[in-house]
Amino acid sequence: MNELQLVKNNIKNLNNLSKIMGLKSYCEDENIMMSLNIETFTANPINDFIINYIGYKDDIDTWIRISSDSFSRYINYEVIHNISKNINIDFILVFKDNTAVGSALIYTDNDVVSIHFIANLSSPQSPEITQHIVDEVVAFAKREEIKYITLFSHIKSVDFYRELGFENS
Q: What is the pLDDT of residues 66-105, one digit of tens each?
A: 988 887 777 888 888 888 888 888 999 999 889 999 999 9
pLDDT tens track for 31-67:
788 888 888 888 777 778 889 998 777 888 899 889 8
CA distance 84 to 56: 10
Q: Which pLDDT does position 162 carry in this prediction?
A: 93
- Indicate if the pLDDT at residue 30 is higher than 70: yes
pLDDT of residue 91: 93
How high is the pLDDT of residue 121? Answer: 82
Whole-prediction pTM value? 0.82
CA-nearest of 114, 161, 153, 166 to 26 is 153
Beta bridge partners of residue 21, listed in sequence order: none
Q: Encode pLDDT of 107-116 as tens digits.
A: 888 788 889 8
The second-level CATH assignment, the architecture, of 3-168 is: 3-Layer(aba) Sandwich (3.40)
Quick check: 28 pLDDT over 60? no
Q: 114, 144 in Cβ contact below 8 A?
A: no
